[in-house]
Structure 1
């Protein structure tokens, strides 16, 4: 876009059609007008940095070539503040990864039935996190083969064409000896304290298992509570002020979540015989529900947001939990990162970051509505080694090439300070998006913050249907700025089909599966968060600044104003 279209002085008025009316937009395309007002004089409390959490089924990818590279990139977003959660940290095996599989071989038993501990692979995983500026969100699981009450079959050989429930093998069963289970956890935590120091490990999160309310746990709810109590008691014996919580259940958890919370608050602890189990944070999962309709992807943002609302409603119903940190331990457009299919075709392009922007903004709103101390929303996406380029997995990168979705986290990482009141006449109201998603008019909304002499405004143009549509002609007005008259500097970052998008660059190359070194470097360049034009001056008068720009369907803009 020409600089003259990007920057507008506050003393220039631009007359637009009424919002919803079509006008000519960028490059002659039709556009509809949207007015966004950000009020810097109306702070709404600190902007929650909920984006800092990531995770994956396959822990061993983390220390492989592209896994190390991606972890380092995540760590650079907020050193020491980014967390990573992984399944299979206690699973038996030699560390060879596969889809929805990983292992560490940490526990086995010798010919006399005595425990043997080997921390080698676990150390390699956590050492890589530490070297990358990342901390573990420790998932205590799954069951080692020699501890499982049903050890065979143990390792699955799942593929994206197989039934999902084929993954539930011997690792999903209760332990044959709960004391040995507790001793394994105790020794693991003590080992981490000895290796990384108590001050570091105090900053980690510890929770037991994954989604014990569905097939990941092949025992009863009461057996899970016993598993949880023994593990949490072991963690606290090893490090008395360790941060512990759970249950990282599938969905809001419903009755399972309430049973868990009531047990932790007032139940009899299976390990200690005392009342209650320590609970420093509460976690649950929320997924959307995309489908394939008429040959295109239709996202299901409403399903994910309704699950989050129900989870918040359950937690807020307990007065004893008022103010407790809450983490959405998996927070994604759908439920299977390693699955493939036409309904998942959104993952490589601009739809994924746009969905993330629109959904995370509503998660902030829901947390405010229910008085939730929201600490994190964990994106269950990482990378898959030795797979074709842009193979359709839910991931942040493909063969070392970062996908557009990575750039929404770069944008989130740039924003800080106080969240500001932002109103858009093109934004679908919260109650509307909860009820039916974004199926008719598009959702053009904003999330804004300010710190010191800088303000950030994130604007998205979202629709559930992955179909072309008219641009939004956005008229953005910042009011109440803490400077009356000044010359500001405006930077405009963009994610869309043409910017910050290695996938469309790869398509324009002819979708090579063996890109040349020159092509690979071009893809690296295309993957980076891009400025839309050069930074330029903008006038601030009477504490106001006005900016006009066109935003294509499924595009995201970050406007950074400094003064």
Structure 2
């Protein structure tokens, strides 16, 4: 049975809403930015959504060729090569992106061990010489200051490492060793300019409460620089592996948010860190790039719900990732491989692409926020809203009936609908036989099926109420706007006499 919900909205009411959806976006390792498809996907994302920052792994991995050593008079010496970094960062900045710099992983010639992670073998061991690691960090930041100017570099957040509480990302998940790395690195960063902001510990959800509390105790007791706290958040349980794919159950949005609220409480329990920014430098539904949920309308509706709430406790939350040029588990076998991106290879937006596009349009001046929607107004008193209906297993439509208190006049109503019938390229790909290597014609069709259904309506109200009814099927996502208009009619133009114009 369809659930019916009724709401009265006026332009004088308000509610708390911090819209940080576009502060940062994630990417695979930085070397991938040298590829044409990567550039094209990111350019399209920036044109439609426009994120402010970008964060990815592999800054110091060997495929970026930053750190090299040579022997002179029997002594090993280091030299630095910033050619690839410059190509990547120059490209980011040309698209309006600032780096959210992740300092890692370990160059082979500086690594204390052989442990690596991912298809591309990022080394995840501590440095064999902490002074040489500090020298590398300092040389890199000074290069950026020289190239981009200190006024620019101080606007980049710096994060030390990635998920050190997981043994794959940091040898043995050695807490004390990570604290040493953090101290050395944060002081190296600050030595370049004390205004540069640095933070950590970039933990994920394994023993995260103990790690966060111990990390802050370490920083407090040892006067170690920290300007913000970082962590990651994913919304699925342990995976079941089937062939190339992994399937997981979703946690409820409340359980997801409770984990973040607990981190917020831990930070605020330290008087010197109370209110300190917490940045979620990775989040998504699933933490594996092999889960088809990332390609679904369910993902889009669920993420929209999170985007409406995460700003309550987080300074930012970076979706992992913008595109599917991504190789942690190897190169995907098909365009719909369950990878993290907002866009598949072949330039096909997934439904979640529109979650971020819609949130980029609505601002932060909220009139109302509920479990299924957020409504805002802009400086011109236009109304913007996003509504969603995530259903993981079985569910029904919901009907949202709004009554807006507005001045008499004429209004343009726009709706953009993303649901399993109107904007579902995954279904189209399955319908065409799940081709691993779609032809140009098939890619064109997939792109056509990846767009929201846009509808417009003009309403004239003589009293002070405008009604709008939305019906959302399971896993639907809908953007809507209401704009006051002053109609202009050319002499002799009579829409009532034109078929299809009314």
Structure 1 and Structure 2 fold alike (TM over 0.5): yes
Indicate how the Cα distance of structure 1 residues 134 and 248 shifts in structure 2: closer, same or farther if over 3 A, else same. Answer: same
Other structure's SS at 2:389 match: strand
Residues 213 and 512 (structure 1 numbering): CA distance in 2 closer, same or farther, change over 3 Å? closer
The corresponding residue for 1:263 is 218
Superposed, 1:340-355 pairs within 5 Å as 340=290, 344-355=291-302
Q: Is the 8 A contact 1:288 1:300 kept in 2?
A: yes
Q: 1:228 and 2:156 equivalent?
A: no
- Which residue of structure 2 lines up, in the alignment, with residue 463 of structure 1? 391
Counterpart for residue 6 of structure 2: 35
Q: How does 1:221-370 map to 2 (within 5 A)?
A: 221-251=175-205, 253-264=208-219, 266-268=220-222, 276-290=223-237, 298-301=249-252, 302-337=254-289, 340=290, 344-364=291-311, 367=312
Distance of 1:539 and 1:57 partners within structure 2: 49
For 2:433 and 2:462, how far apart are their aligned partners in 1?
49
Aligned counterpart, 2:428: 505
CA contact (8 A) 1:39 1:422 kept: no
Q: Using the TM superposition, give the Cα deviation of residue 154 of structure 1 relative to its aligned residue in structure 2, in angstroms.
A: 4.9
The CA distance in 2 between the partners of 1:38 and 1:246, in whole Å, is 41
Counterpart of 1:383? Answer: 324
SS at match of 1:210: coil
CA distance in 2, matches of 1:298, 1:223: 34
> Which residue of the partner structure matches residue 90 of structure 2?
127
Q: Is the 8 A contact 2:21 2:360 kept in 1?
A: no
In 2: Cα distance, 1:47 partner to 1:545 partner: 27
Question: C-alpha separation between the residues in 2 aligned to 1:525 and 1:50?
Answer: 26
Equivalent position SS for 1:75: helix
Aligned residues: 464
For 1:52-451, list aligned pairs within 5 A. 52-77=23-48, 79=50, 81-92=51-62, 95=63, 104-111=64-71, 112-150=75-113, 152=114, 154=116, 157=119, 171-215=123-167, 216-218=169-171, 220-251=174-205, 253-264=208-219, 266-268=220-222, 276-290=223-237, 298-301=249-252, 302-337=254-289, 340=290, 344-364=291-311, 367=312, 372=313, 374-381=314-321, 382-384=323-325, 387=332, 388-399=334-345, 400-423=347-370, 427=371, 445-451=372-378
1:556 equivalent to 2:477? Answer yes
Give TM-score, length-normalised by structure 2: 0.85
**What secondary structure, in the 3-state scheme, does the structure 1 residue paired with 2:126 have?**
coil
5+ residue gaps in structure 2? 485-502
Distance 1:324 1:476, change over 3 A: same
1:451-498: per-residue Cα shift (whole Å, max 9, x none)?
122111111112232x4x43222212234xxx4222211100111112
2: CA distance, partners of 1:187 / 1:142: 16
Give the deviation of 1:518 after TM superposition: 3.0
**In structure 2, distance between residues paired with 1:280 and 1:77:** 31
Partner of 2:499: none
CA contact (8 A) 2:374 2:386 kept: yes
- Given that residues 292 and 336 in structure 2 are in contact (C-alpha distance below 8 angstroms), is that contact kept between their aligned partners in structure 1? no
Point out which structure has higher relative CO (alpha carbons under 8 A, 6+ apart). Answer: 1
Equivalence for 1:442 = none
C-alpha displacement of 1:237: 1.9
User: Secondary structure of the residue that 1:69 maps to in structure 2?
Assistant: helix
SS at match of 1:494: strand
Contiguous gaps of at least 5 residues in structure 1: 1-21, 23-30, 96-103, 159-166, 269-275, 428-444
Supply the RMSD in Å over aligned alpha carbons: 2.5
CA distance in 2: counterparts of 1:154 and 1:256, whole angstroms: 22
- Measured in 1, the distance between the counterparts of 2:52 and 2:199 equals 18
Following superposition, which runs of at least 4 residues in structure 1 exceed 6 angstroms of deviation?
none
Cα distance, 1:202–1:192 mapped onto 2, change above 3 Å: same
Change (3 A) 1:517 1:208: same
CA drift at 1:131: 2.0
For residue 494 of structure 1, what is the aligned residue in structure 2? Answer: 417
Secondary structure in structure 2 of the residue aligned to 1:43: coil
- Would the alpha carbon gap of residues 316 and 540 (structure 1) be closer, same or farther in structure 2, given more than 3 Å must change? farther
